Amino acid sequence: MSVLVYTESEQGKFKKVAFEVASYARAIADQLGTSVTAVSINAEDPSLLGTYGVTKVLNIKDSKLDTFNAKSYAHVINQAAAEEGSKVVVVSSSADSKYLAPLLAIELKAGYASNVVALPTNLSPFTVKRTAFTNKAFNETSISTSTKLVGLSNNSFGIKEHITEAEVTHYSPSIPDNGVHVESVDKVTDKVTIADADIVVSGGRGLKGPENWGMIEELADVLGAATACSKPVSDLGWRPHGEHVGQTGKPVAANLYIAIGISGAIQHLAGINASKVKLVINTDPEAPFFKAADYGVIGDAFEVVPALIEKLKAFKAQNA
Protein backbone atom coordinates (compact mmCIF):
# COMPACT_ATOMS: atom_id res chain seq x y z
CA MET A 1 0.00 0.00 0.00
CA SER A 2 3.06 2.25 -0.02
CA VAL A 3 3.14 5.38 -2.18
CA LEU A 4 5.20 4.55 -5.27
CA VAL A 5 7.47 7.19 -6.79
CA TYR A 6 9.48 7.05 -10.01
CA THR A 7 12.85 8.68 -9.28
CA GLU A 8 14.52 9.59 -12.56
CA SER A 9 18.23 9.36 -13.11
CA GLU A 10 20.53 10.14 -15.98
CA GLN A 11 23.87 8.40 -16.53
CA GLY A 12 23.65 6.88 -13.08
CA LYS A 13 22.92 10.15 -11.23
CA PHE A 14 19.54 11.12 -9.85
CA LYS A 15 18.01 14.20 -11.47
CA LYS A 16 17.03 17.04 -9.16
CA VAL A 17 13.35 16.29 -9.81
CA ALA A 18 13.88 12.79 -8.36
CA PHE A 19 14.47 14.30 -4.91
CA GLU A 20 11.50 16.63 -5.29
CA VAL A 21 9.05 13.85 -6.25
CA ALA A 22 10.48 11.70 -3.44
CA SER A 23 9.86 14.55 -0.93
CA TYR A 24 6.32 14.96 -2.28
CA ALA A 25 5.62 11.21 -2.13
CA ARG A 26 6.85 11.22 1.50
CA ALA A 27 4.40 13.99 2.39
CA ILE A 28 1.47 12.12 0.76
CA ALA A 29 2.53 8.94 2.56
CA ASP A 30 2.41 10.88 5.85
CA GLN A 31 -1.14 12.02 5.01
CA LEU A 32 -2.11 8.42 4.26
CA GLY A 33 -0.13 6.90 7.11
CA THR A 34 2.01 4.69 4.90
CA SER A 35 5.57 4.35 3.55
CA VAL A 36 7.31 5.34 0.30
CA THR A 37 8.77 2.96 -2.27
CA ALA A 38 10.89 4.35 -5.09
CA VAL A 39 11.55 2.79 -8.49
CA SER A 40 15.18 3.46 -9.44
CA ILE A 41 16.45 2.53 -12.90
CA ASN A 42 20.22 2.19 -13.35
CA ALA A 43 21.12 4.74 -10.65
CA GLU A 44 24.52 4.26 -8.96
CA ASP A 45 23.56 5.09 -5.41
CA PRO A 46 19.86 4.41 -4.72
CA SER A 47 20.36 4.67 -0.93
CA LEU A 48 20.57 8.48 -1.40
CA LEU A 49 16.77 8.47 -1.64
CA GLY A 50 16.57 7.74 2.10
CA THR A 51 17.48 11.38 2.70
CA TYR A 52 14.09 12.37 1.31
CA GLY A 53 11.96 9.88 3.20
CA VAL A 54 12.02 6.89 0.85
CA THR A 55 11.79 3.72 2.95
CA LYS A 56 12.31 1.16 0.20
CA VAL A 57 13.95 1.23 -3.22
CA LEU A 58 13.17 -1.24 -5.97
CA ASN A 59 16.58 -1.07 -7.59
CA ILE A 60 16.60 -2.04 -11.26
CA LYS A 61 19.88 -2.52 -13.13
CA ASP A 62 19.40 -3.58 -16.73
CA SER A 63 21.27 -2.48 -19.83
CA LYS A 64 18.02 -2.81 -21.81
CA LEU A 65 16.87 0.28 -19.90
CA ASP A 66 20.04 2.35 -20.49
CA THR A 67 18.20 4.53 -22.98
CA PHE A 68 14.88 5.99 -21.87
CA ASN A 69 11.90 4.33 -23.50
CA ALA A 70 8.43 5.44 -22.45
CA LYS A 71 6.67 2.14 -23.06
CA SER A 72 9.28 -0.06 -21.32
CA TYR A 73 9.62 2.31 -18.40
CA ALA A 74 5.83 2.55 -17.98
CA HIS A 75 5.63 -1.25 -18.03
CA VAL A 76 8.34 -1.53 -15.37
CA ILE A 77 6.69 1.04 -13.08
CA ASN A 78 3.34 -0.70 -13.50
CA GLN A 79 4.85 -4.00 -12.34
CA ALA A 80 6.46 -2.27 -9.36
CA ALA A 81 3.09 -0.76 -8.40
CA ALA A 82 1.47 -4.21 -8.54
CA GLU A 83 4.33 -5.69 -6.48
CA GLU A 84 3.89 -3.04 -3.79
CA GLY A 85 0.10 -2.84 -3.99
CA SER A 86 0.49 0.92 -4.44
CA LYS A 87 -2.66 2.98 -4.88
CA VAL A 88 -0.86 6.31 -5.35
CA VAL A 89 1.93 6.67 -7.93
CA VAL A 90 3.95 9.89 -8.30
CA VAL A 91 5.98 11.05 -11.31
CA SER A 92 7.57 14.40 -12.24
CA SER A 93 6.86 16.83 -15.09
CA SER A 94 10.10 16.20 -16.98
CA ALA A 95 9.77 15.55 -20.72
CA ASP A 96 10.36 11.84 -20.05
CA SER A 97 7.80 11.58 -17.24
CA LYS A 98 5.17 13.43 -19.25
CA TYR A 99 5.85 10.97 -22.08
CA LEU A 100 5.43 7.83 -20.00
CA ALA A 101 2.63 8.98 -17.64
CA PRO A 102 -0.39 8.52 -19.99
CA LEU A 103 0.91 5.08 -21.02
CA LEU A 104 1.36 4.20 -17.36
CA ALA A 105 -2.13 5.49 -16.53
CA ILE A 106 -3.61 3.02 -19.03
CA GLU A 107 -1.56 0.12 -17.61
CA LEU A 108 -2.44 1.03 -14.02
CA LYS A 109 -6.08 1.77 -14.92
CA ALA A 110 -5.42 4.94 -12.94
CA GLY A 111 -6.82 8.43 -13.31
CA TYR A 112 -3.96 10.84 -14.02
CA ALA A 113 -3.66 14.44 -12.88
CA SER A 114 -0.76 16.35 -14.48
CA ASN A 115 0.91 19.68 -13.52
CA VAL A 116 -0.03 19.22 -9.86
CA VAL A 117 1.33 22.01 -7.64
CA ALA A 118 0.43 21.01 -4.06
CA LEU A 119 -0.39 18.16 -1.71
CA PRO A 120 -3.89 16.65 -1.99
CA THR A 121 -6.47 18.96 -0.41
CA ASN A 122 -8.68 15.97 0.28
CA LEU A 123 -7.99 12.23 0.39
CA SER A 124 -11.55 11.07 -0.22
CA PRO A 125 -12.28 11.93 -2.93
CA PHE A 126 -8.57 12.28 -3.73
CA THR A 127 -8.35 15.92 -4.84
CA VAL A 128 -5.35 17.87 -6.12
CA LYS A 129 -4.68 21.39 -7.36
CA ARG A 130 -3.10 21.70 -10.80
CA THR A 131 -2.36 24.49 -13.23
CA ALA A 132 -4.53 25.01 -16.31
CA PHE A 133 -4.95 27.59 -19.08
CA THR A 134 -1.14 27.86 -19.38
CA ASN A 135 -0.57 29.13 -15.83
CA LYS A 136 -3.48 31.59 -16.05
CA ALA A 137 -5.60 29.52 -13.62
CA PHE A 138 -5.63 26.64 -11.17
CA ASN A 139 -7.95 23.66 -11.45
CA GLU A 140 -8.99 21.42 -8.59
CA THR A 141 -9.35 17.90 -9.90
CA SER A 142 -10.46 14.79 -8.08
CA ILE A 143 -9.37 11.34 -9.20
CA SER A 144 -12.11 8.74 -8.93
CA THR A 145 -10.25 5.51 -9.78
CA SER A 146 -8.89 3.31 -7.00
CA THR A 147 -5.31 3.88 -8.22
CA LYS A 148 -4.17 7.48 -8.64
CA LEU A 149 -1.35 8.80 -10.82
CA VAL A 150 -0.02 12.24 -9.89
CA GLY A 151 2.35 14.26 -12.10
CA LEU A 152 4.06 16.87 -9.92
CA SER A 153 4.89 20.22 -11.52
CA ASN A 154 8.65 20.88 -11.35
CA ASN A 155 9.87 23.18 -8.55
CA SER A 156 6.38 23.49 -7.08
CA PHE A 157 6.79 21.45 -3.86
CA GLY A 158 10.54 21.73 -3.29
CA ILE A 159 13.10 19.25 -1.99
CA LYS A 160 12.55 18.39 1.69
CA GLU A 161 14.91 16.33 3.77
CA HIS A 162 13.39 13.54 5.85
CA ILE A 163 16.24 11.27 6.89
CA THR A 164 15.26 7.62 6.66
CA GLU A 165 17.15 4.40 6.18
CA ALA A 166 16.18 3.23 2.66
CA GLU A 167 16.11 -0.52 2.20
CA VAL A 168 17.51 -1.16 -1.29
CA THR A 169 16.19 -4.33 -2.95
CA HIS A 170 17.30 -5.73 -6.26
CA TYR A 171 14.34 -5.85 -8.63
CA SER A 172 14.15 -7.46 -12.07
CA PRO A 173 10.83 -6.83 -13.78
CA SER A 174 10.02 -8.18 -17.22
CA ILE A 175 10.94 -5.73 -19.97
CA PRO A 176 8.80 -5.89 -23.11
CA ASP A 177 10.01 -5.42 -26.65
CA ASN A 178 9.07 -1.92 -27.61
CA GLY A 179 8.38 -0.36 -30.92
CA VAL A 180 10.30 2.92 -30.66
CA HIS A 181 14.10 2.83 -30.96
CA VAL A 182 16.46 5.67 -30.17
CA GLU A 183 19.06 6.31 -32.89
CA SER A 184 20.86 9.30 -31.41
CA VAL A 185 20.63 11.87 -28.63
CA ASP A 186 21.73 15.45 -29.13
CA LYS A 187 21.99 17.23 -25.81
CA VAL A 188 23.64 20.36 -24.49
CA THR A 189 26.08 19.71 -21.66
CA ASP A 190 25.81 22.91 -19.63
CA LYS A 191 27.10 22.76 -16.09
CA VAL A 192 23.72 23.82 -14.73
CA THR A 193 20.81 23.39 -17.13
CA ILE A 194 18.06 25.98 -17.18
CA ALA A 195 15.58 23.19 -16.29
CA ASP A 196 17.56 22.27 -13.16
CA ALA A 197 18.77 25.68 -11.93
CA ASP A 198 17.48 27.33 -8.73
CA ILE A 199 18.55 30.71 -10.05
CA VAL A 200 18.65 31.87 -13.68
CA VAL A 201 20.50 35.02 -14.79
CA SER A 202 19.21 36.24 -18.13
CA GLY A 203 20.46 38.98 -20.42
CA GLY A 204 18.72 40.95 -23.15
CA ARG A 205 19.48 43.40 -25.92
CA GLY A 206 20.17 46.09 -23.33
CA LEU A 207 23.62 44.52 -22.91
CA LYS A 208 24.55 45.88 -26.36
CA GLY A 209 26.75 42.99 -27.51
CA PRO A 210 28.10 39.49 -26.82
CA GLU A 211 31.38 40.94 -25.52
CA ASN A 212 29.50 42.23 -22.48
CA TRP A 213 28.38 38.82 -21.23
CA GLY A 214 31.35 38.46 -18.89
CA MET A 215 29.49 40.13 -16.03
CA ILE A 216 26.39 37.97 -16.65
CA GLU A 217 28.51 34.85 -16.35
CA GLU A 218 30.27 36.20 -13.27
CA LEU A 219 26.96 37.01 -11.58
CA ALA A 220 25.73 33.50 -12.46
CA ASP A 221 28.94 32.02 -11.01
CA VAL A 222 28.57 33.87 -7.73
CA LEU A 223 24.97 32.64 -7.41
CA GLY A 224 25.53 29.11 -8.77
CA ALA A 225 23.00 30.03 -11.46
CA ALA A 226 22.37 29.07 -15.08
CA THR A 227 22.68 31.74 -17.78
CA ALA A 228 19.89 32.47 -20.24
CA CYS A 229 18.94 35.11 -22.79
CA SER A 230 16.00 36.71 -24.57
CA LYS A 231 14.85 35.83 -28.11
CA PRO A 232 16.49 38.81 -29.90
CA VAL A 233 19.83 37.97 -28.29
CA SER A 234 19.71 34.39 -29.57
CA ASP A 235 18.35 35.54 -32.97
CA LEU A 236 21.31 37.94 -33.25
CA GLY A 237 23.67 35.07 -32.51
CA TRP A 238 25.11 36.72 -29.40
CA ARG A 239 24.31 33.61 -27.37
CA PRO A 240 23.56 29.97 -28.32
CA HIS A 241 19.95 29.02 -29.08
CA GLY A 242 19.89 26.64 -26.09
CA GLU A 243 19.96 29.67 -23.77
CA HIS A 244 16.83 31.24 -25.24
CA VAL A 245 13.99 31.34 -22.71
CA GLY A 246 10.41 32.43 -23.37
CA GLN A 247 7.29 31.19 -25.10
CA THR A 248 9.13 29.72 -28.10
CA GLY A 249 12.27 28.89 -26.11
CA LYS A 250 12.69 27.05 -22.85
CA PRO A 251 10.32 27.54 -19.95
CA VAL A 252 11.82 28.67 -16.63
CA ALA A 253 10.47 27.69 -13.20
CA ALA A 254 13.39 28.88 -11.05
CA ASN A 255 13.28 30.22 -7.50
CA LEU A 256 14.87 33.46 -8.69
CA TYR A 257 14.89 34.83 -12.23
CA ILE A 258 17.10 37.86 -12.83
CA ALA A 259 16.36 39.79 -16.04
CA ILE A 260 19.06 42.22 -17.10
CA GLY A 261 18.43 44.57 -20.00
CA ILE A 262 15.25 42.68 -20.98
CA SER A 263 12.16 44.83 -21.61
CA GLY A 264 9.65 42.02 -20.90
CA ALA A 265 7.70 41.27 -24.08
CA ILE A 266 4.56 39.22 -23.38
CA GLN A 267 6.10 36.11 -25.01
CA HIS A 268 9.16 36.37 -22.77
CA LEU A 269 7.04 36.81 -19.63
CA ALA A 270 4.86 33.79 -20.52
CA GLY A 271 7.95 31.61 -20.61
CA ILE A 272 9.34 32.67 -17.24
CA ASN A 273 6.19 33.35 -15.17
CA ALA A 274 6.41 30.05 -13.31
CA SER A 275 9.53 31.42 -11.58
CA LYS A 276 8.87 32.27 -7.96
CA VAL A 277 10.73 35.58 -7.60
CA LYS A 278 11.64 37.93 -10.44
CA LEU A 279 14.22 40.69 -10.29
CA VAL A 280 14.57 43.15 -13.15
CA ILE A 281 17.44 45.53 -13.82
CA ASN A 282 16.70 48.03 -16.58
CA THR A 283 17.39 51.69 -17.43
CA ASP A 284 13.85 52.23 -18.71
CA PRO A 285 11.29 52.63 -15.88
CA GLU A 286 8.53 52.09 -18.48
CA ALA A 287 9.81 48.60 -19.39
CA PRO A 288 6.84 46.17 -19.07
CA PHE A 289 8.98 43.80 -16.99
CA PHE A 290 8.62 46.12 -13.98
CA LYS A 291 4.90 45.23 -13.88
CA ALA A 292 5.70 41.50 -13.76
CA ALA A 293 8.66 41.65 -11.35
CA ASP A 294 8.86 41.39 -7.57
CA TYR A 295 12.00 43.51 -7.26
CA GLY A 296 13.33 46.13 -9.62
CA VAL A 297 16.36 48.34 -10.00
CA ILE A 298 16.05 51.26 -12.41
CA GLY A 299 19.62 51.80 -13.50
CA ASP A 300 22.39 51.09 -15.95
CA ALA A 301 23.25 47.38 -15.99
CA PHE A 302 26.91 48.22 -16.64
CA GLU A 303 27.06 49.94 -13.24
CA VAL A 304 24.46 47.94 -11.28
CA VAL A 305 25.61 44.41 -12.17
CA PRO A 306 29.33 44.79 -11.23
CA ALA A 307 28.29 46.52 -7.98
CA LEU A 308 25.76 43.75 -7.26
CA ILE A 309 28.44 41.10 -7.86
CA GLU A 310 30.65 42.75 -5.20
CA LYS A 311 27.77 42.96 -2.72
CA LEU A 312 26.86 39.31 -3.32
CA LYS A 313 30.48 38.17 -2.91
CA ALA A 314 30.61 39.99 0.43
CA PHE A 315 27.27 38.44 1.40
CA LYS A 316 28.45 34.95 0.45
CA ALA A 317 31.72 35.41 2.38
CA GLN A 318 29.77 36.46 5.46
CA ASN A 319 27.21 33.65 5.20
CA ALA A 320 29.58 30.89 4.11
193 versus 212: smaller Cβ distance to another protein: 193
Smallest gap from residue 239 Cβ to another protein (A): 16
Site map 155..184 versus another protein, x via CB under 8 A: ------------------------xxxxxx
The region of 29-37, 46-54, 99-107, 155-163 touching another protein under the rule CB under 8 A is 99-107
208 versus 241: smaller Cβ distance to another protein: 241
139 versus 169: smaller Cβ distance to another protein: 139
Q: How far is CA 156 from CA 97, 122, 159, 261, in A?
A: 16, 18, 9, 28
Which DSSP letter does residue 194 get?
Answer: T
Is residue 199 involved in binding another protein (CB under 8 A)?
yes
Read off φ and ψ for residue 242, nearest 5 degrees. -60, -15
Q: How far is CA 204 from the centre of its chain?
A: 24
Q: Which of residues 230-269 bind another protein (CB under 8 A)?
A: 242, 248, 255-256
In this structure, are residues 262 and 271 in contact, taking their beta carbons and an 8 Å threshold? no
Smallest gap from residue 226 Cβ to another protein (A): 11
Smallest gap from residue 284 Cβ to another protein (A): 13
In this structure, are residues 153 and 93 in contact, taking their beta carbons and an 8 Å threshold? yes
122 versus 169: smaller Cβ distance to another protein: 122
Out of 133, 165, 177, 317, name the contact with another protein by CB under 8 A.
133
47 versus 98: smaller Cβ distance to another protein: 98
DSSP string computed for 144-178: -SSSEEEEEPTTSS----B---PEEEE--------
The region of 39-47, 134-142, 162-170, 206-214 touching another protein under the rule CB under 8 A is 134-142
Cα angle for residues 223, 226, 232 (degrees, 5° grid): 125
Out of 131, 164, 218, 232, name the contact with another protein by CB under 8 A.
131
Out of 83, 167, 190, 218, name the contact with another protein by CB under 8 A.
190
167 versus 190: smaller Cβ distance to another protein: 190
Out of 55, 59, 86, 115, name the contact with another protein by CB under 8 A.
115
Smallest gap from residue 145 Cβ to another protein (A): 5
Read off φ and ψ for residue 301, nearest 5 degrees. -55, -35
33 versus 319: smaller Cβ distance to another protein: 319
Q: d(Cα 266, Cα 64) in Å, to the nearest integer?
A: 44
166 versus 274: smaller Cβ distance to another protein: 274
Helices (H), 230-300: 231-235, 266-272, 289-292
3-state secondary structure of 304: helix
Cis amide bond preceding 46, omega within 30? no
In this structure, are residues 265 and 241 in contact, taking their beta carbons and an 8 Å threshold? no
3-state secondary structure of 33: coil
Smallest gap from residue 317 Cβ to another protein (A): 12
Site map 136..155 versus another protein, x via CB under 8 A: xxxxxxxxxx----------
Q: Which of residues 32-71 bind another protein (CB under 8 A)?
A: 70-71
- Burial of 218-242, coded b for 16+ CB within 10 Å and e otherwise, reads bbbebbebbbbbbbebbeeebbeeb
Q: Which of residues 299-318 bind another protein (CB under 8 A)?
A: 299-300, 303-304, 307-308, 311-312, 315
3-state secondary structure of 197: coil
